[in-house]
A and B are shown apart, each in its own frame.
Chain A
């Protein structure tokens, strides 16, 4: 049954990347328990607009939990208190009347704040561009059973492919490490036949880009696994470690000189 909540929001407001930010308190009245967390922010923003104030900037897109655009540190937890739930799928019935909710952006050197709760996550795009793809064009999709994939491999690849790239792993990690994200992408490809030709090059290139972006290292604290809205497991990080070790010792980098070719 729908109920109405009166809440106190403490929201991080920051005018721009270089500006000094601070928590600003906003009381909100009559929030429906059926509203999603983002709808609650929409209501707040409409009120702010009516008063002639600048609305709170926050990232969102599909609002179905699949696009990875929404973020938010809610009371110190990525995507709020629920497990395997994005902020857009978090509902106000999870909160009690009179609650104070602290809302902050993801914080990492590699995710600079653009405005209020919006951060720049293009560091992830650059990690993907470094090797998170299969570059061989194979034409139209073949019949489903032409390429045989073991059930367990398919399961592991699909589990890893569930990553929506939201950045909660980085945001929750005490080291702001991107290992879970990179591990999900590397595992996804390493488990499938289409990923084999560039398997070792990929592990090397993506880890090198991850390091270059200034993310921290993994100290096996596993906060990322608890924070991940897509349920990516830290076994993928062990897999990435394995892939990196193997590729370091076994992968022969392409020679820069092309002796005797052509």
Chain B
């Protein structure tokens, strides 16, 4: 963190570093990066849904996306920065939170009418599972480390082929459901963290968050199911 301190001294941003380093400040960054990542996943799902529209439409969209390598690089660096910030802060916060209670209770019961397995209690676990899914997804589609395809393969054919790998299909299906699980808490939590708790909007935000989580989870989970059905010759 030495370079951060230097930056603080040189550019008079000590106050900003202090604010963003505090427990509340890190939650702001956590929430904002999470919200931006949600924006990315929505666009990602919209693009993927073109798989169902037609082979040509999907291929044209994919080619258009990749026609400007410079822009792709900027987008990838941006996404990497968002993911890294979100994950690193999560690890830091989780470690501190665990350390805040070194010895647990012999008996524990919630006063809220719910069980322990709620989305909010398992954000780190669902996040870790999501990370595993994303790493496999990058290995498949971005870095071609597993099942490399022939040269000049069209995007639609590539997607279908990779989704028909039984390991990938299983991980993608489960990972998509955990994405929804993560967002049920994550989406509405951002607004509380940013201080936007209001009797008129908060109930709406909570409902919208659940709806968004369900749409994203089912949307992404449908692709491996679709690919496997195609693989075994089910007419769609």
A contact set with B: CB distance below 8 Å: 10, 12, 23, 73, 75-78, 81, 83, 102, 104, 107-110, 172, 174-177, 207-208, 210-211, 214-223, 226-227, 234-235, 237-245, 248-249, 253
Contacts and interface: CB of A to CB of B under 8 A. Distances in A.
B111 A172 contact: yes
Contacts of A221: 118, 120-121
Given A76-B109, A102-B106, A207-B24, A245 B100 contact: no
Nearest to A252: B15
Interface string B8-20: 0000000110010
A237 B195 CA distance: 8
Interface in B153-203: 185, 188-189, 192-197
B97 interface: yes
Nearest to A108: B101
B194 A207 contact: no
B142 interface: no
A172 B100 CA distance: 12
Contact of A222 (B97, B103, B105, B112): B112
Nearest to B103: A107
B23 interface: yes
B24 A175 contact: no
Given A109-B101, A175-B97, A248-B25, 20 more contacts: A12-B106, A23-B106, A75-B109, A76-B105, A77-B109, A83-B111, A172-B111, A175-B100, A177-B100, A214-B100, A216-B23, A217-B23, A217-B24, A218-B193, A219-B189, A220-B193, A221-B120, A238-B195, A244-B25, A245-B28
For the complex of A and B, 10 pairs with smallest distance between CB atoms:
A242-B195, A238-B197, A216-B100, A248-B19, A76-B109, A175-B97, A226-B111, A76-B107, A176-B100, A216-B97
B108 A214 contact: no
B22 interface: yes
5 contacts: A76-B109, A217-B27, A222-B120, A226-B112, A244-B24
Contacts of A214: 99-100
B115 interface: no
Contacts of B194: 241-242, 245
Interface of B: 15-16, 19, 22-28, 93, 96-97, 99-112, 118, 120-121, 123, 185, 188-189, 192-197
Given A75-B109, A107-B103, A174 B15 contact: no
A141 to B, nearest CB: 32
A174 B121 contact: yes
A238 B102 CA distance: 27
Contacts of B120: 219-222
Contacts of A227: 111
Contact of A216 (B101, B106, B123, B196): B101
A243 B16 CA distance: 15
B124 to A, nearest CB: 9
A75 B28 CA distance: 35
Nearest to A235: B197
A134 to B, nearest CB: 23
A77 B111 contact: yes
Nearest to A174: B121
Contacts of A253: 15
Contacts of A249: 19
Given A217-B93, A241-B24, A244-B24, A109 B195 contact: no
A107 B121 contact: no
B26 A217 contact: yes
Nearest to A10: B106
B104 A107 contact: yes
A239 B189 contact: no
Given A76-B108, A238-B196, A241-B195, A216 B96 contact: yes
Given A172-B111, A235-B197, A241-B193, A108 B100 contact: yes
Given A107-B103, A175-B100, A216-B101, A78 B197 contact: no
B101 A220 contact: no
Contacts of A107: 101, 103-105
A244 B195 CA distance: 9
A174 B101 CA distance: 8
A215 B93 CA distance: 11
A47 B101 CA distance: 33
